[in-house]
Structure 1
Amino acid sequence: MRLSVTGCGYLGAVHAAAMASIGHEVVGIDVDVRKIDALSRGDAPFFEPELPELLRAGVDGGTLRFSTDAAEARGAAVHFIAVGTPQRKDGHAADMTYIDAAVDALLPHLQPGDIVAGKSTVPVGTAARLAELIAPTGAVLVWNPEFLREGWAVVDTISPDRLVVGVPAGPEGERAADVLREVYRPAVERETPFLVSDYATAELVKISANAFLATKISFINAMAEIAEVTGADVTQLADAIGHDARIGRRFLSAGIGFGGGCLPKDIRAFAARAEELGRGESVAFLREVDAINLRRRERAVTLTREALGGDVVGKRVAVLGAAFKPHSDDIRDSPALDVAVRLKGLGADVVVTDPAAVENARRAHPQLAYADARDDALRGAEAVVVVTEWDEYRRELDPAHASSLATGRVVVDGRNCLDADAWRAAGWDYRGLGRP
């Protein structure tokens, strides 16, 4: 099948490469010339495991190409829209500029029978509005939300845990659903759940899933706040309640909270849309979820300051991590960088390192010092702050080795990912969030 993908950022580039890898002929379209040039060479413009191999295979094999010309989409059976919906600069609502621009660019090239498949995370009601714009062309809109985890995006695209398709009522919706089944045939043949719904439900699936995950993370961080004043250990608490099959252990790791390009802006946009619909009280709890999340960043800073005698001025602090999560170079709303910037603002001599995100962090925060190698960051440090749980820090960093490099013996575990007993046995003053 011939497919087009409008928007070649994180979502679109992965989707285009993955679709080509399962046998489709794909053209990716974006207005960013430098991005298109890189992708056309088979070079990934961001860090994502397995993506470079897929890109090169698709480009070299002729099943994947990229262009800045929207007319290249003409003739595709399905046109995916995979542009960003960032938070508006003047509020918490989603900025629909890129979605609207993508649809406007596609309209002249759509033909009767084409399927336009939205993948972006949008406020509920968006699909119905866009369907009216597309209808005069004879094309049909469906909404097919993505459920990608950064660091696992290729796997999540080729082998998703579910597929959701929102379609219009009637025969055209049934036909559109069948076309999407064909697009995702390998996953469908593996009996991946394929859920067909109306537009509004499909839009709400992604945003409500993100709201639930954000709530679960902030719940355990709220428990960490209680643990800190009672002497309880939040990691043991999470283990205990995680054994309840109704709750589960995943996303119950207390620390400095969530970040990235999805959860923070999505819960804010959800709350803003609920207000527009006159049901703001239904998701009012998301405001507190957001507030708890942001408080944990400051708590990591406070722990560092307390461990260094109440003052960090002039003291060298090694911050291990810049990306918002491991296996990614994404620094959007990164709690790790937020902690580093706050420590720098208090006068600390901060040195940041990360296996993948140093260059992105340097461009965004040139006021910080950076080290490409972990050991260079540790050398001479009076305190070590772990803020992204890369294996290089949580599993491969031996406390004795760290002692041979650092001058101080303070370690603040912003992700509760270190072996506290091992670090303490090696002579370190270990501080975790929500741990005695």
Structure 2
Amino acid sequence: MRVSVIGCGYLGAVHAAAMASIGHDVVGVDVDAAKIEALSRGDAPFYEPGLQQILTDGVAAGNLRFTTDMAAVRGSAVHFVGVGTPQQREGSAADLTYVNAAFAQLLEHVSPGDIVAGKSTVPVGTAAGLAERVHGAGAVLVWNPEFLREGWAVQDTVDPDRLVVGVPAGSEGERAAQVLREVYYPSVDKGTPFIVTDYATAELVKVSANAFLATKISFINAMAEIAEATGADVTTLAEALGHDDRIGRRFLGAGIGFGGGCLPKDIRAFAARAEELGKSQSVAFLREVDAINLRRRARAIELVVEAFDGEVYGKRIAVLGAAFKPHSDDVRDSPALDVAVQLKGLGAEVVVTDPQAIPNARRLHPQLTYEASRDETLRGADAVVLVTEWDEYRRQLSPEHAASLTAGRIVVDGRNCLDPAAWKAAGWTYRGMGRS
């Protein structure tokens, strides 16, 4: 099938390459000429495991191409729209500027009977308004939210755990759902759940999933706060809770909290939309979820300051990690960088390392010192702060090796991913998040 993808950022570039990898003829469109030039060469503009290979393969095979010309979408049966919905500069609501612009330009080139599939994360009710515009151009709108995890985005696109499609009522919606089944034929053939629903439910599935995950993470971080006040150990608590099938162990990892380009802005936008609907009390807890998340970053800094008896000025601190999570170079709302910047503000000599995110981090925070080598970052450090749980730090760094490089023996484990006993046995003062 011939398909187009409007917006070639994180979501769009992965979706375009993945659709080409399963055999479709794909054209990606974006207004960013530099990004399009890179993608056309087969160069991934960001780090995502597996993306470079399928991008290179698609461009080489000729069934994946990129352009800034919206007219190139003509002839495609399905048009996926996956542009960004950032948080508004003033307020918490989602900014739909890019969505509205993308639809306005796209609808000048669609043909009667085309399917326009929205993939952007939008406030509930957005699709219903866009549907009228799409219908006026003779096409049909479906809402097909994405559920990508950074670091596993390619896998989540070609082999998702579920597919959700919001369609209009009647035969038009039935036909549109069938077309989407054909687009995602490998997943449909293997029995992946394919859920057909209305627009509002499809929109809510995405924001509800993000809100639930954020809540689960902040719940265990709230328990970490209680553990710190009582001498309990939050990691043992999480292990015990995780054996309950109703709760599960995933996302019960206490630490410095979540970040990135999705969860923080999406839960704020959800709360803002609920307020617009007159239902702010229904998701009032999300404000506290957000607050807990931000408090844990502050707590990590407190642990460093306490380890130096209240004064970090002039201390050399090695910060392991800059990306908001491992297997990504994304530094948007990164807890890791937030900790580094705040320690720098307290007068510490901060050196940051990361396997993938240094270029992005340097553009965002040029005031920090960066070092590509993990060991050079550790050399001469008075303290080590682990804030992104890359394998290079959690599994491949022994406390003995670290001690051979550093000047001090203080480690703050912002992700609770190190073995406290091993580090203490090697002479380190270990501090974790919610750990006795």
Same topology, TM > 0.5: yes
Structure 1 counterpart of 2:406, one-letter code: A
3-state SS, counterpart of residue 304 of structure 1: helix
- Find the counterpart in structure 1 of residue 396 from structure 2: 396
Q: Displacement, 1:310?
A: 1.1
Over residues 17-59 of structure 1, what are the superposed CA-to-partner deviations in whole Å (9 max), with x where a residue is unaligned? 0000000000000000000000000000000001000011000
Q: Secondary structure at the match of 1:164?
A: strand
**Separation in structure 2 between the aligned mates of residue 272 and residue 108 of structure 1, nearest angstrom:** 32
CA-CA distance at 1:137 after TM superposition: 1.4
Could you tell me how far apart the structure 1 residues matched to 2:157 and 2:208 are? 20
**Residues 1:131 and 2:131 aligned together:** yes
Maintained 8 Å contact 1:36/1:66? yes
How far apart, CA to CA, are the structure 1 residues paired with 2:187 and 2:77? 19
* In structure 1, C-alpha distance between the alignment counterparts of 2:309 and 2:227, rounded to whole Å: 22
For normalisation by structure 1, the TM-score amounts to 1.00
Distance across 2 between alignment mates of 1:31 and 1:277: 33
SS in 1 for 2:3: strand
Q: What stretches of structure 1 move > 2 A for 4+ residues in a row?
A: none
Distance 2:24 2:43 in 1: 20
Match of 2:408 in 1: 408
Partner AA of 2:177 in structure 1: A
Show CA shifts across 1:92-144 (max 9, x none): 00000000010011011011110000001000000000001111111000000
**1:3 match: secondary structure:** strand
What residue identity is the alignment partner of 1:310?
G
Give the aligned residue type for 2:36: I
Aligned residue for 1:108, secondary structure, equals coil
Residue aligning to 1:117: 117
Structure 2: which 5+ residue stretches go unaligned? none
- Tell me, in whole angstroms, the C-alpha distance in 2 between the residues paired with 1:422 and 1:154: 36
In structure 2, give the amino acid aligned to 1:284: A
1-side partners of 2:163 and 2:217: how far apart?
24
Identity of aligned residues (%): 76
Please name the residue that 2:351 is paired with: 351
Find the counterpart in structure 2 of residue 180 from structure 1.
180
TM-score normalised by the chain length of structure 2: 1.00
CA distance in 2, matches of 1:270, 1:308: 40
- Partner amino acid for 1:274? A
Please say if 1:420 is aligned against 2:420: yes
Other structure's SS at 1:377 match: helix
Tell me the amino acid that sits aligned with residue 403 of structure 2. Answer: S
- The answer on whether the counterparts of 1:308 and 1:383 sit within 8 Å (CA) in structure 2 is no
User: How many residues are treated as equivalent by the alignment?
Assistant: 436
- Specify every segment of 5 or more residues in structure 1 that has no aligned partner in the other structure, as ranges: none
CA–CA distance in 1 between the matches of 2:385 and 2:38? Answer: 35
The reply on whether 1:303 has 2:306 as its aligned counterpart is no
Partner of 1:82: 82
Separation in 2, partners of 1:308, 1:157: 46
SS at match of 1:350: strand
Task: Give the secondary-structure state (helix, strand or coil) at the position aligned to 1:52.
Answer: helix
Does the 8 Å CA contact 1:224/1:433 hold for their aligned counterparts? yes
The aligned residue for residue 240 of structure 1 is 240
Residues 204-246 of structure 1: CA distance to partner in whole angstroms, max 9, x if unpaired?
A: 0000000000000000000000000100000000000010000
Aligned to 1:216: 216
Q: Distance in 2 between matches of 1:345 and 1:284?
A: 32
Match of 1:280 in 2: 280
CA distance in 1, matches of 2:43, 2:91: 35
Instruction: Give, in whole Å, the separation in 2 of the partners of 1:57 and 1:107.
Output: 30
2:383 aligns with 383
